Every structure is written in C-alpha cells, then in structure tokens.
A and B are shown apart, each in its own frame.
Chain A
Amino acid sequence: MIRGTTGLSNEIVENVFLYIAAISVSILVLITFLMIYFTIRYRRKRNPQPEDIRGNLWLEILWTVIPTLLVLSMFYYGWTGFRSLKKIPEGAFKVKVAARQWSWLFEYENGVKTEELMVPVGKPIHLLLTSQDVIHSFYIPAFRVKQDAVPGMVTPLWFKAKEVGTYDVLCAEYCGRQHAYMLTRVKVLSEEEFKQWYEGKGKELQIEKSRGLPRGPQLLQEKGCLVCHSLDGTPRIGPTLKDLSGNTVIVLTDGKERKVQADDAYLKKSLIEPNADIVKGFPPIMPSQEGLSTEEEINELVRHMKELK
C-alpha cells in the first residue's frame, strides 16, 4: 500500500480505511478466538453437563450499545472524509470529460482536446464528467477517486496530485465488450512543463483553425471511431475503414441481407443512423453521431474516408 503520497484524497480515504480496519480486525479476532475457545473448552467429552443460560441483560445491552457507537463513529469519519472529497476548491483547473464506448476524451478550457488527461502537479483539478452513451465510471485508483459518468448529467470530481508522474485511469462501471480496455492515463506534469504544453497546444489549435487544415485524422481520433474501426484492414469490433468508401458492402437491413454501394450518402447515414444498415458479421452497437458531431464534421469525416486506402 502506498500511503498518502500520490494525491490529497489518498490520506482521507486511507485514514478512514485504517480506522475501520483496526476495529474490524479486533472484532473478528475476538469472535473467532471465543468461538474456538468455547468449542474446545466445552466439548462434550470434557463438559458433559451443559448449562442453560437464557441471556444476560447487561451483556446484551453492552454489545448493542458499543457496536452502535463504533459504527456511528465509522459513519462520521466516512462522512467527513466524503465532505472533503466532494468540496471542490475555488479556482480549480477545469477539464470536461466525455466518456463513450470505449474511450475517454478530455477537453480543456482553451479548446484543446486529448485522450490522456494532462494536469499540473499540486493544483486542484475539477473534472466535469458526462457520457455520450451508457454509464461509465472515471476511476483513478492511485488517487482513490471515482465518479460515474452518466448520459444526460454532468457529474463533478476533483483531485490534487502531489507528485509528478503517470497514473492509470480505468472505467469502473461495466459498459460492454471493451469495458476492460477502456483505459487511459493521467499525466501529472510540473507546473512549468504543464504551462508550456498547455499554451503550446492552444497556439497550435488556433493556427489549425485559422488555416482550416484537413481535420479528418484528428476527428477519427476525437470521435472515438478508432476504438472499433481500424485503418489497416483488420476487422475489430466494427469493419475496417480502409478501402471502405466507394466499395460494395453486404449489410443487413431489418434482418434482410442486401448489397449496397458505400457512397457518400451511405457513409453519412451510417454515422447518423448506424443501426439502419448493419454490416454483415458485426454487432449492431455503434452509437449515433447525431447531436455529437456537426454537419461539417460529418462531411469532413465522409470526405476523409475516401483517402483511407
């Protein structure tokens, strides 16, 4: 167990853990010892004459009242710890987090988007979580923090990393096929390094925007397409995007097999109504981009797919 080194929330969670553990282990040892001791001490060979003891009021009051006080104290510590875990300091650095099957997308206040979370050390970070499809849960075991990402809701989570380093981020709420692979990392940088990275990325974004550069590859990444669709011809959860545009595909429409030309209209439709025509051999689980992507972005994706040879 790494104690209280990596994040502020560690100490809070670990102190409560140790408090409950100390009491629990003592109770368990006491119960087990008495149980074994009585069983041996009063075994039939040694104690053929049992004694009926129907109860003992004082003893029973004692072992109702003491455990009640103990569990109330556990509740209290748990609650105060929870209060600090929930109370977001003012001026915390905000990052929007979008969860989707099966990747994470982080969006910073300057518009930069990343797949790994970059944060400065020693600063409170305030995450605003939401989900684009099913329920996910954002979990950084090293910091002992977790919060569900729910579609239609924005849920908050905050943490403060005490040391520079890279830590695992896991999805903790079961979300389907690739649940176990919905992993990313949080990279904790020194304040200086972070500032450099953050501002540099911000500038790059501005330049890209002003030039109106092709954004296809970036969109594929940002929209989470590449989790299920490969670019090299290997089928994954979904069909590969390589050589897709312009080719014929066998699809199931309302359960009936038919051949279609993968033209612009088809590709557009499969982004907006992905389950209308299911490519044969793949599960009908792709989420619709409706409301998630703009018209322009969809056009750009369709255009870019022609280049994926």
Chain B
Amino acid sequence: MAGFYEDERRLRGILGWIFSTDHKRIGLLYLFAILFFYAIGVLLGFLMRLELMAPGPTIMRPQTYNAIFTLHGVIMIFLFVIPGIPSIFGNFFLPIQIGARDVAFPRINLLSWWIYMTGAFLAILSLFTGGGPVDTGWTFYVPYSLRTSVNVPLAVFAVFILGFSSILTGINFVTTTHQLRAPGMTWFRLPLFVWAVYATAWIQVLVTPVIGITLLLTLMERLVGVGIFDPAKGGDPLLYQHLFWIYSHPAVYIMILPAMGVISEIIPVFARRTIFGYKAMAFSILAIAVVGSFVWGHHMFVSGQSDLASIIFSLLTFLVAVPSGVKVFNWVSTLYKGSIEVAPPLLFALTFIFLFSIGGLTGLFQGALATDVHLHDTYWVVGHFHYVIFGGTGFALFGALHYWFPKMFGRMYHKKIPYFAWALLFVGFNTLYFPMLILGWKGMPRRYYDYLPQFHSLQWISTIGSWILIAGLILLFANLIYSLFRGEKAEGNPWGGATLEWQIPSPPPRENFAEIPRIERGPYEFRK
C-alpha cells in the first residue's frame, strides 16, 4: 500500500504504528482496538440472549449472568461507543476535512490511545483479580457497588483512566478545529462531520471530569468508607445518581452526535446535492450538545428525587427532541430532487434514519412522567437504548466504514455483499430489539437472569433475532477484512465526494496535503 502506510521514518514494523503520532495511524490503531472490543461485547450479548432464550437456568448461573450484562455494558459503552466514531473517524478525517496536516497536539493524541489501552487493560485485569468480574451493571449504582464482594475498585479505576483518554482527545479536537483550519475554511464551510465531532469534543472536555470525580469518590467510599454516598454515615445514594448521570447522559450525546455527523456527510454525496439547511444542521448539533447536558434527571423519575426536579427534567428532555427532529427532517429533505445512488454507505445512512427515529420516538414515552413510571427500568429502556445506540451509532459506524474504507485503505470492498449483510442486520436487529419494547410495556424488568412464563415467547423471538444479527455482522466484516487484502485498488474519489478528503489520493499521503488548500466553497458543492 502506498501513502501514509509507507511512512517508516524512525521506527519500523509494529513500533512504527504504536509510537506513531500520525493522526491517520492513530485512527487505525483505535479502529482495530475498538472493533476488537466490539467483537467481545457482541459475544457477551450473544451469551445473554442464549441464557434468556428459555426461563430458568439455561446455560449459566445468576452470578455469571450478572457479570456478563455488566461487562457487556462496560465494554460496549466505555470501550466501543464513546470512543467509537470520534476516535476512529474523527482522528482520521477531522484534520483532512479542515485542510490540516495533523491534529494540534499529535503526541497528546498518541498518549490518548495509550491511556485508552491502559484503561482497557485494567478493565480486563479486574476480571481476574480481587473478587472477580464486576456485577453492578455499567452504572455502578451505590450502595450495591459498595457492598458487593467483587472487584469493583479496579473496574471503577479502569473507567476513571479511560476518562482521561476522552478528555485529551476532546481538547485535541477542539484546538485543532479552532487553530488548524485551512485558509478560507470558515466555520460555515466546515463539513457537518467536523461540527459534530467538534461539539462532541466540548462535551467530552466539560463533563468527563464529573464521572472522574464520581468514580474517585466511589473508590474512596469503597476503600476507606468516607461516607459520601452511604446513608448510614450521613451520605446520600441519590447524590451518586445525580453525579453519575451528569456525565452519563451527555455521554449519550457523545455517542450519537458524531454518528449524526457521519450521516450528514453520506447523504449529500449519494444524493449529489447540497445538504438541506446547513446552518440549521450546525446549530441543532450545538443545541443538542447544550440542552442535552441539562436533562440528566430524567433517569431518576422514580428514584425518590423531588417531583419538581422530575417535572423540570421532563420539560428539558422534551425540548432536546426538537433539534433531533430538525436533523431528521433536513436529512429526508436532502433526498428531495437529488440524484440518488443507493450505494452501501447510503443504505446504512437511510437505515440509521429509520432506526434512530424509532429510538428517538420511543424515548418520548420515557421523557413523559406518567409513562416513565411504568416503563422505567424495564425492557422498554433496553429496547429504546439499543435502537438509539446500535440502530443509530452502530449503523452510522457501518455507514462510515463503507464510506471511508476506500480512502483509509486504498482498496474497494466487494460492493454486492454489503446489501446481503444489511438485509440480515436489518431483519435481525428488529427481531432482536422490537420484542424488547413490548416486553417492557408488559412489565418485564431489565437485568433479570430469569423471568415469569408470560415473557417467554417474546424473549425467545428476541434470541432468534440475535442469531440473524450476528450472521449479518460476520458477513459484513468478513467482506471488509477480505477486501483489506484482496480488494481492488480504489481511486482517490470513488463516490464523487466534495469534501477535502476526496481531493487527495487513497490512501492519503503522509501529511495529507503537499500544499495546504485554499477553500473557496462549502462542503457539499457538487457542481463547480
């Protein structure tokens, strides 16, 4: 392969990668690490579904199940979705899309990856040391996490470490976007993916310290019993929940905003026309980022928090739905009078719109106070969350992979196979997660190892769905991996994109641009 792959200045082989400060190489380091953890997360999900296929003990004991759903959550959230799109595609494409040679702090960028790997290593280490795998759920709610006999301290510390990776990446992207835009690359000529990653970076910088402090306090509570959260010592378990969600709700936007950015890139390219309402798209990203930081209390409607607090959080939650709606309407309008080619990336982007809409709309039921009382902590929440994060961010990531694959690797994948993989994924996904919404409405609580007989048939259907989904995943990734080695050579601009990454060779050369380009038009101008 050519381009940045041939850069062997000081270090050779693997060292040339793991000590590289090139944003593209770091992006690929993240890609492989993150997809590796994704595979583990999928495997754990598969095992959970297998256990739940029939009532009573099926393939494991309750404690194993509790550890597995915790690990599934921790891995998927902290090692896959949160770093996900920004660390892989943000690293690789943000500098190129703004016409820069690298991020503002290339060495800090490498440090972020190392911190990420350290956190991941500690998380894995926590499984085999102390009291064994954590069984608290990814939320680490006190007082349970203070009382359980398993290795909570190391797991919590691992997540604490991972936070630094997120903060440093955030600082890097904010600075890069402010400082390194090419001449003429004004704010309103930025590709929407850059806007999304930029807004996400701010959330990362501003709220990640809150989870850091929360986890540190949990550690202190657990190790020396300071009494911040323990009511027996004058502490308050609800305080933990507030602190946790002050980070973890905005974290949902860390997960979804970059995905929205990806969709905003893909749709104009395959519709061959400019995006509908560019400014509305940019401002709605900012609105989601800002308002989304003040809705955390909607996770606590039945926790015992005051009614007034619940009412205010409910109102704010509904307001955050509006900019998300605007984005969906603008994407659909971008198809109007376009010249549309349903290539694999667009197929995934359109599926994103459908699944994300279901995810968003099912969220309205939880934002409404009266209905949330019933739906809270049931399978409805599990279904809703997977529609947003897997149907949304997951499908956007598949779209991004298929969109940027030729650019990143200089090869094109087999173009028919993604349609088959998509069909399996789409059918499997809905068979897996839609029954969960019904189960939730019928009153099946989440995090249950076993269930009452009336829930059996839907649980069974859901498990069948997981097999179809996994078949789709295997086909999708098998095609990409095969093409990595055997795919046809890709041209510089196979999709006819108008943003900067498509104006340079595939794969990009070492410092992206021989000469920093001068920008004279917006990102989605397909006719010169």
A residues lining the B interface (CB < 8 Å): 1, 12-13, 16-17, 20-21, 24, 27-28, 31-32, 34-35, 38-39, 42-44, 47-56, 59-60, 63-64, 67-68, 71-72, 74-75, 77-82, 85-86, 133-135, 137, 139, 141-142, 144-148, 150-153, 155, 168, 170-181, 183, 283-285, 287
Residues of A within 8 A of B121 (CB): none
Which chain B residues lie closer than 8 Å to A20 at the CB level? 364-365, 368, 371
Chain B: interface size category? 35 or more
In contact, A79 and B311 (Cβ under 8 angstroms)? yes
Residues of A within 8 A of B279 (CB): 55
The answer to whether A55 touches B280 (Cβ under 8 A) is: yes
B371 CB contacts on chain A under 8 angstroms: 13, 16-17, 20, 78, 81
Would you list 5 pairs from A and B whose C-beta atoms are within 8 A, ordered by A residue? A42-B338, A67-B325, A134-B147, A168-B443, A180-B450
Max chain A CB contacts within 10 Å: which of B307, B314, B322, B446? Answer: B322
Residues of B within 8 A of A60 (CB): 277, 280, 326, 330
Contact in complex: B337, A53 (CB < 8 Å): yes
B280-316 vs A, CB cutoff 8 Å, 1 = contact: the mask equals 1000000000000000000000111001001100110
* B466 close to chain A: CB less than 8 A: no
With both beta carbons as reference points, the residue of chain B lying nearest to A33 in the complex is identified as: B332
Contact between chains at A172 and B376 (CB < 8 Å): yes
Q: Which of A21, A34, A60, A78 has the most CB of B within 10 A?
A: A78
Q: How far is the CA of A4 from the CA of B87 in the complex (A)?
A: 49
Cβ of B342 within 8 Å of any chain A Cβ, yes or no, is: yes
Closest residue of chain A to B369 (Cβ to Cβ) is A82
Of B143, B149, B330, the residue contacting A135 (CB under 8 A) is: B143
Closest 8 CB pairs of A and B: A141-B443, A152-B231, A81-B370, A78-B368, A82-B369, A38-B335, A24-B361, A50-B339
Contact A150 B304, CB 8 Å, known A52-B527, A67-B321: yes
A28→B358 contact, CB < 8 A: yes
Contact present for A152 and B232 (CB under 8 Å): yes
> Of B236, B318, B319, B441, which is in contact with the most chain A CB atoms at under 10 Å from its CB?
B318
Whether the Cβ atoms of B147 and A133 lie closer than 8 Å is yes
In the complex, A144→B526 CA distance in Å?
54
Q: Does B60 contact A (CB under 8 A)?
A: no
Contact residue among A16, A59, A180 (Cβ-Cβ distance under 8 Å from B451): A180
Q: A31-B328, A52-B273 are in contact. Are A172 and B321 (CB under 8 A)?
A: no
Chain B residues close to A by CB (< 8 Å): 62-63, 66, 135-137, 141, 143-144, 147-149, 231-232, 236-238, 271-274, 276-280, 302-304, 307, 310-311, 314-315, 318-319, 321-322, 325-326, 328-330, 332-333, 335-342, 350, 353-354, 357-358, 361-362, 364-365, 367-374, 376-378, 441-443, 445-452, 525-527
Contact A82 B148 (CB under 8 A): no
Q: Assess the B370–A75 pair: CB atoms within 8 A.
A: no
A38 touches B280 (CB 8 A): no
Q: Indicate which residue in B322, B372, B450 contacts A68 across the interface (CB closer than 8 Å).
A: B322
Q: Which one of B272, B368, B525 has the greatest number of beta carbons of chain A within 10 Å?
A: B368
CB distance from A11 to the nearest CB of B (A): 10
Q: Which residues of B contact A181 (CB under 8 A)?
A: 450
Which of chain A's residues have a CB closer than 8 A to the CB of B237? 135, 150-152
* Contact assessment for A285 and B358 in the assembled complex, using a CB-CB cutoff below 8 Å: no
Given A24-B364, A42-B338, A173-B141; 5 other pairs, CB 8 A cutoff: A75-B367, A81-B369, A82-B307, A147-B304, A178-B62
Least CB separation from B451: chain A residue: A180
A168 lies within 8 A of B335 (CB)? no
Q: Report how far A265 CA is from B371 CA in the complex, Å.
A: 52
Which of A50, A63, A82 has a CB less than 8 Å from the CB of B310? A82
CB contact under 8 A between A180 and B370, given known A38-B338, A55-B276: no
Report whether A42 and B445 are in contact in the complex, using a CB–CB cutoff of 8 Å: no
Q: Which of A13, A64, A170 contacts B445 (CB 8 A)?
A: A170
Shortest A43–chain B CB gap in Å is: 5
Alpha-carbon distance A67/B272, docked complex (angstroms): 29
A239 to chain B, nearest CB (A): 15
Q: Which residues of A contact B302 (CB under 8 A)?
A: 137, 146-148
Taking a contact as CB atoms under 8 Å apart, the answer to whether B280 and A12 are in contact is: no
**Contact present for A50 and B311 (CB under 8 Å):** no
Contact A180 B449 (CB under 8 A): yes
Q: Across the interface, which residues of A come within 8 angstroms of B373, CB to CB?
A: 13, 82, 85, 144-146
CA of A16 to CA of B367, assembled, Å: 11
Closest to B274 in A: A52
Which chain B residues lie closer than 8 Å to A170 at the CB level?
443, 445
Given the interface contacts A79-B369, A133-B143, A139-B445, does A176 sit within 8 Å of B325 by beta carbon? no
Is there an interface contact between B335 and A55, defined as CB atoms closer than 8 Å?
no
**How distant is the Cα of A88 from the Cα of B81 in the complex, in angstroms?**
42
Residue of B nearest to A55 (CB): B277
Instruction: Tell me the bound Cα distance from A151 to B273 in angstroms.
Output: 58
Separation of A287 and B147 alpha carbons in the complex (Å):
9
Cα of A172 to Cα of B314 in the assembled complex, Å: 21
Contact of A168 among B361, B367, B452 (CB under 8 A): B452
A289 to chain B, nearest CB (A): 14
Q: A51-B273, A75-B315, A176-B66 in contact; A150/B238 too (CB < 8 A)?
A: yes
Which among A56, A170, A171 has the greatest number of chain B C-beta atoms within 10 A? A170
A284 to B147, CA, bound (A): 9
Q: How far is the CA of A135 from the CA of B137 in the complex (A)?
A: 13
Known pairs A53-B273, A78-B369, A174-B137; A13 contacts B144 (CB<8 A): no
Given contacts A12-B370, A49-B339, A133-B147, contact A74 B357 (CB under 8 A): no
B149 touches which of A68, A145, A155, A283 (Cβ 8 Å): A283
Q: Report whether B63 and A175 are in contact in the complex, using a CB–CB cutoff of 8 Å.
A: no
User: Once the chains are docked, how many angstroms separate the CA of A60 from the CA of B136?
Assistant: 45
Among the listed A54, A81, A135, A142, which residue makes an inter-chain contact with B144, where contact means beta carbons less than 8 Å apart?
Answer: A135
- A153-B231, A153-B304 known; A82-B370 Cβ under 8 A: yes
Complex Cα distance, B271 from A139, in Å, reads: 49
Bound-state Cα–Cα, A71 to B325, Å: 11
Instruction: Please measure, in the bound complex, the distance between the C-alpha atom of A71 and the C-alpha atom of B321, giving whole angstroms.
Output: 8
Query: Which residues in B have their C-beta under 8 angstroms from that of A28?
Result: 357-358, 361
> How far, in angstroms, from A284 to B335 measured CA to CA in the complex?
60
- Rounded to whole Å, the gap between the CB of B128 and the closest CB of chain A is 17
Measured between beta carbons, the chain A residues less than 8 angstroms from B278 are 54-55
